[in-house]
Chain A
Amino acid sequence: MNKKLLASIIIVILLTLLAINDVIGNWSDIDGGFENLYIFFTEDLFPPDWSILEAEPNLECSSDIGFFCSQAWKGISETIQMAFISTVIGFIIALPIASLAANNLYPLPVAMVARVILAGLRSLPSIIWALIFTIAIGFGPLSGVLAMTLYTIGYLGKLQYEGIEGIANEPLEASMAMGLTRSERFVFVVIPESSNNLISQLLFMFEYNVRHGTVLGLVGAGGIGKYIDTNLKFFIYDKAMAFLIVIFVVVVIIDILSMIIRSYVTDESDFKRPKWWTVLLPSDAAMKLHQRNGHQD
């Protein structure tokens, strides 16, 4: 191994150990920690209390199906709605700022101003924005939506301008030589060329906002987090655990859906994938079927 690389690895390991030692301070504090964790898991968290999936009498609800009147549904659907609104509004606002921040479209001084705005919005995590908005406009999902929208603008804007800067230079150059205006270049060259990235980033941001939306309730900004917060405050850990499992399942489902959608917005999607059940057919028959569907390889 290269000596410099070896030295760098040793330095990083040493720094990590020093930092751990500094952070932990007194190692005896963690004595019995694993046992406590085991007891917490086996006695307090498990089994989760699935009553959260049943109709909640105190909730206003017009549905005949009990699940749709449950705390779990109310909480997670509110979180998803908050994430959806914030992602869409954040995307719409972020895109023009990102175009100003891309230095293959605008000169450096303009790009720097736009980047500073995006960095400013990104520097506070959404939970801090949520705290600010709950103070300013009160508790509830609106504070959560505003918090996530601001963070989305900062975060998505950065992903977008990096995506825009990554597009091929030739179409931009050709359009410049042709005399197209900046707005025409943005609409007809930049957006189509970075569309796959934009859609992929949008889906990523939605996933991200759903995950982060779950904690905004801890500061009173709506969503499923408020139920977790209440249960934790009253030491009802088995219910809190059930909420966490609901969040986990929803995040996994959104992740899978987003992966499937993203697979259609890559260049590779030009190749139509064979249906999954064709794996059960002999290879000749599967190939014939694929070709009959119009896909000549």
Chain B
Amino acid sequence: MDEIPLSSKSEAGLDPIIQLRKLEIGYNKSLVSNINVDIYPGDRIAIIGPSGVGKTTLLRTIAGLIAPVSGEIANSYTARGQIGYIPQKLGLVRHSSAKNNILLGARTRKSRFYPPFLRIGETLNKEVDLLIDKLGIANISNEPVRILSGGQQRRVAIARALIQKPKVVIADEFLGELDVANIESIIDILLTQLENIGATLVMVEHQEDIARSIATRIWRIDGNSITEELVP
């Protein structure tokens, strides 16, 4: 993507929260190069493309989990808890309860010097309970994650990310192998909550129709390059 696309947000004077400049991503060899793009607050971006082209690698690079091969990422979310990350396998602590997993997200709202042995406090705890209620997982909140269904686990992962009140939610094919009813309900919850906290979504989704139903911008990776399409 050579040209930095002019979106209505840049024209409106909004500052981008993430700027990717001449970015080249990959592990040992380059997968995608020359990525130049700005991400604005409230954007919902879906990365699509065939398997193995570097969708997850781009996501992990934006999340700061792997270093780019070259180029730079300028972002305004370096503070703790400003990235809500939902990996493909959800990354939940299987032996902890659903609520404890969500509390893990809530801890990021405390200072990094907040000792692990202290509870997070009553106000934040109530907020967690409220979100658990909204996501319809109150009845299983004390169950260990390993015994929950795929749909319930996804709700827990979403709750963990949203309770952080992050600036960016990064999600990697988080809808997995869910049935249509579950997909619709989870998308509905996610979009409502994202809007409430004003967070940006950057996601990888292999089903294009689902990607279009969520995203405002689609990035298509094909070969070594990336193209963008705005979704009306």
Q: How many residues of A contact B (CB 8 A)?
A: 25
Q: Which residues of B contact A173 (CB under 8 A)?
A: 65, 85, 87, 91
Given contacts A175-B104, A178-B105, contact A183 B116 (CB under 8 A): yes
Nearest-CB distance from B227 to chain A (Å)?
26
The reply on A31 being an interface residue by CB < 8 A is: no
B79 within 8 A of A: yes
Assess whether B91 is in contact with A171, with CB atoms less than 8 Å apart.
yes
Are A174 and B96 in contact, CB atoms less than 8 angstroms apart? no
- Interface members, chain B 73-106 (any A CB < 8 Å): 79-96, 100, 104-105
Residue B64 is within 8 A (CB to CB) of chain A in the complex:
yes
Which residues in A have their C-beta under 8 angstroms from that of B65? 173, 176-177
Contacts of A264 in B (CB 8 A): none
Q: Is A189 an interface residue (CB 8 A)?
A: yes
CB pair A270–B147 under 8 Å, yes or no, is: yes
Q: Check A195–B95 contact: CB distance below 8 A.
A: yes
Nearest CB of A to B151, in Å:
18
Assembled-state Cα–Cα distance A123/B75 (Å) = 49
**B164, CB-defined interface residue at 8 Å:** yes
Q: Would you call A188 and B93 a contact (CB within 8 A)?
A: yes
What are the residues of chain B within 8 A of A193 when measuring CB–CB?
93-95
Kindly identify which residue among A176, A180, A181, A188 contacts B96, using a CB–CB cutoff of 8 Å: A188
Known pairs A170-B91, A193-B94; A178 contacts B108 (CB<8 A): yes
Residues in chain B near residue A189, CB distance under 8 A: 93, 104
Q: Which residues from chain A contact B91 at a C-beta distance below 8 Å? A: 170-175
B63 contact from A172, A177, A184, A270, Cβ within 8 A: A177
- For residue A270, which residue of chain B has the nearest CB? B147
**Nearest A residue (CB) for B147:** A270
- The listed residue with most A CB atoms (<10 A of its CB), out of B80, B82, B95, is B95
A178, A181, A187, A188: the one contacting B85 at CB < 8 Å is A178
* Interface residue? A196 (CB, 8 A): yes
Chain B residue nearest to A176 in the complex (CB) = B65
> When A179-B112, A180-B108, A188-B100 are in contact, do A170 and B89 touch as well, CB less than 8 Å?
yes
Q: Indicate whether B146 reaches chain A with its CB closer than 8 angstroms.
A: yes
Question: Quick one: closest A residue to B86, CB to CB?
Answer: A174
A171 adjacent to B83 (CB under 8 Å) = no
Contact B79–A188 (Cβ < 8 Å) = no
Specify which chain B residues have a CB less than 8 angstroms from the CB of A188 in the assembled complex: 93, 96, 100, 104, 107, 116
- The verdict on A192 contacting chain B, using a C-beta distance below 8 Å, is yes
Number of interface residues of B (CB under 8 A): 35
List which A175-208 residues lie within 8 A (CB) of chain B. 175-181, 183-184, 186-189, 192-193, 195-196
Whether B170 and A179, one on each chain, are in contact in the complex, defined by CB atoms closer than 8 angstroms, is no
Taken together as a complex, chains A and B put the C-alpha atoms of A114 and B218 apart, in Å, by 47
Q: Are A174 and B112 CB-contacts (below 8 A) given A189-B93, A192-B93?
A: no
The residue in A177, A181, A189 that gathers the most chain B C-beta atoms within 10 A of its C-beta is A177
A284 at interface by CB-CB < 8 Å: no
Most A CB contacts (10 A, CB to CB) among B63, B80, B93 go to B93
Nearest-neighbour CB distance to chain B for A174, whole angstroms, equals 3
**Closest residue on chain B to residue A188 by CB atoms:** B104
Contacts of A171 in B (CB 8 A): 91-94
Complex interface residues of chain A between 76 and 134 (CB less than 8 A to chain B): none
Within 8 Å CB of A192, what residues of B?
Answer: 93, 95-96, 100
Cβ of B10 to closest chain A Cβ, rounded Å: 26
- For the complex, what is the distance from the CA of A180 to the CA of B103, rounded to whole Å? 12
Distance between B18 CB and nearest chain A CB, rounded to angstroms: 14
Residues of B within 8 A of A186 (CB): 116
Answer yes or no: A267 CB below 8 A from chain B CBs: yes
Q: Known contacts being A189-B93, A193-B94, A270-B147, is A177 close to B83, with CB within 8 Å?
A: yes
Contact A174 B87 (CB under 8 A): yes
Q: List 5 A-B contacts (CB under 8 A).
A: A173-B85, A176-B65, A188-B116, A189-B104, A270-B144
The 5 A-B residue pairs with the shortest CB-CB distance in the complex, in nearest-first order: A174-B91, A179-B80, A177-B85, A170-B91, A187-B116
**A-side interface residues toward B, CB under 8 Å?**
168, 170-181, 183-184, 186-189, 192-193, 195-196, 267, 270
Instruction: Give chain B's interface residues, CB within 8 Å of chain A.
Output: 63-65, 79-96, 100, 104-105, 107-108, 112, 116-117, 144, 146-147, 160, 164, 170
